């Protein structure tokens, strides 16, 4: 198991984008190559003291570009222009790059979890690599490269804030930040379709469908930890949301996608209470 975790941490620390993607694939292979009985033995009671030295949450590798700025400083351009389309695809690429690191970090950070937890999140890392490659290829088609535009670090800042507790990480990264991606993706797809870029909309279809699964994984493990700690998941989730997002997480909700990702009826009703504009957008709407 140490070989697998070492491979995950090596991928997490890699600053070169292509190297990070290659090392992530190698880490997946390390896990697949292990014999099942060895996996069961290693993970039966968590990895405990054999988990190895965790990479500091402030240490994951990223390329020197893009320049990281405050969210309000990220350039916003109308989607009706080529430059606007480039900046939108660049923003999506940056989200996918951070998502690779987030999944790798979940694997290497939190010990004492069942085997399925690590298998889930290394698979998520691999899917995020695929997403990044899709988006970067289209960004290059538009005449730009990842790193050409400033980006903000909000997604990783939440990783830093949740590094102390797997329950908090599962609640706030997949179930808040990534779930917001499910809410807004259909409207972004429509914008691309409206400017004649149906290929970008199709790429977002692929990403959207996978991300429903990623949020569902976060939901499953959040509830697993709640059960282990004998605490109520709905109350715990919204207590954490109120603490970390005091201004709320309002906006249009994609109810169908959230239901598919495991949000309960009670959770959706509470979200609706703070979300005055309600729609049921789906990928098929585009």
Helices (H) and strands (E) in the chain, counts: 12, 0
The mean pLDDT of 149-164, rounded to a whole number, is: 92
Phi (first) and psi of residue 115, to 5 degrees: -50, -45
- In this predicted structure, the answer to whether residue 285 has a pLDDT above a threshold of 50 is no
Q: What is the pLDDT of residue 70?
A: 80
By three-state DSSP, how is residue 38 classified? helix
Question: Which tens digits make up the pLDDT trace of 126-153?
Answer: 999 999 999 999 999 999 999 999 998 8
Q: What is the pLDDT of residue 34?
A: 67
Q: What is the pLDDT of residue 39?
A: 54
Measured from the Cβ of residue 120, the count of other Cβ atoms closer than 10 Å reads 22
Q: How large is the angle between the packed helices 82-109 and 179-194, nearest 10 degrees?
A: 160
Query: Do residues 20 and 11 make contact, with C-beta atoms less than 8 angstroms apart?
Result: yes
How many whole angstroms from its chain centre is CA 2?
25
Q: What angle do CA 233, 238, 242 make, to 5 degrees?
A: 150
Query: Do residues 243 and 236 make contact, with C-beta atoms less than 8 angstroms apart?
Result: no
The mean pLDDT of 251-271, rounded to a whole number, is: 94
Q: What is the pLDDT of residue 1?
A: 74
User: In this predicted model, which residue has the larger pLDDT, 185 or 272?
Assistant: 185
- In this predicted structure, the answer to whether residue 281 has a pLDDT above a threshold of 70 is no
> Which range among 29-33, 54-58, 110-114, 253-257 shows the weakest confidence by mean pLDDT?
29-33
- In this predicted structure, the answer to whether residue 117 has a pLDDT above a threshold of 80 is yes
Using pLDDT thresholds of 50, 70 and 90, give the confidence band for residue 248: confident
- In this predicted structure, the answer to whether residue 46 has a pLDDT above a threshold of 60 is no
The mean pLDDT of 53-67, rounded to a whole number, is: 94
How far is residue 281 from each of residues 49, 56, 183, 254, measured CA to CA in Å? 46, 39, 8, 6
Question: Which tens digits make up the pLDDT trace of 3-19?
Answer: 899 999 999 999 999 99
How far is residue 92 from each of residues 123, 147, 253, 274, measured CA to CA in Å? 20, 12, 19, 26
Using pLDDT thresholds of 50, 70 and 90, give the confidence band for residue 283: very low
Q: What is the pLDDT of residue 41?
A: 53
Structural domain spans, the chain: 2-38+77-285
> Which range among 99-108, 137-146, 251-260, 271-280 shows the weakest confidence by mean pLDDT?
271-280
Task: Take residue 57 and report the two structure tokens written for it.
Answer: 């949450």
- In this predicted structure, the answer to whether residue 286 has a pLDDT above a threshold of 50 is no
What is d(CA 126, CA 58) in angstroms, rounded to the nearest whole number? 22
| Whether the bond into 35 is cis, omega within 30 of 0 | no
Q: What is the pLDDT of residue 40?
A: 55
């Amino acid at each position: 198991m140490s070989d697998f975790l070492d491979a995950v941490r090596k991928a997490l620390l890699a600053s070169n984008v292509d190297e990070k993607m290659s090392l992530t694939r190698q880490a997946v292979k390390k896990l697949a190559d292990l014999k099942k009985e060895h996996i069961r033995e290693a993970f039966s009671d968590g990895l405990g003291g054999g988990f190895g030295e965790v990479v500091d949450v402030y240490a994951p590798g990223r390329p020197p570009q893009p320049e990281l700025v405050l969210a309000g400083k990220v350039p916003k351009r109308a989607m009706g222009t080529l430059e606007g389309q480039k900046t939108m695809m660049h923003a999506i690429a940056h989200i996918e790059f951070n998502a690779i690191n987030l999944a790798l970090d979940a694997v290497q950070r939190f010990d004492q979890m069942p085997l399925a937890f690590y298998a889930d999140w290394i698979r998520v890392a691999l899917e995020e690599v695929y997403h990044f490659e899709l988006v970067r290829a289209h960004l290059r088609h538009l005449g730009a490269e990842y790193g050409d535009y400033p980006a903000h670090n909000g997604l990783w800042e939440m990783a830093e804030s949740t590094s102390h507790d797997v329950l908090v990480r599962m609640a706030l990264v997949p179930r808040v930040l990534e779930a917001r991606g499910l809410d807004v993706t259909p409207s972004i797809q429509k914008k691309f379709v409206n400017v004649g870029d149906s290929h970008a909309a199709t790429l977002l279809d692929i990403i959207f469908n996978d991300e429903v699964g990623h949020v569902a994984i976060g939901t499953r493990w959040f509830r697993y930890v709640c059960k282990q700690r004998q605490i109520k998941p709905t109350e715990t989730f919204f207590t954490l949301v109120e603490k970390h997002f005091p201004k709320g997480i309002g906006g249009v909700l994609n109810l169908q996608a959230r239901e598919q990702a495991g949000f309960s009826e009670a959770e959706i009703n509470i979200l609706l209470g703070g979300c005055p504009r309600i729609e049921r957008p789906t990928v098929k709407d585009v």
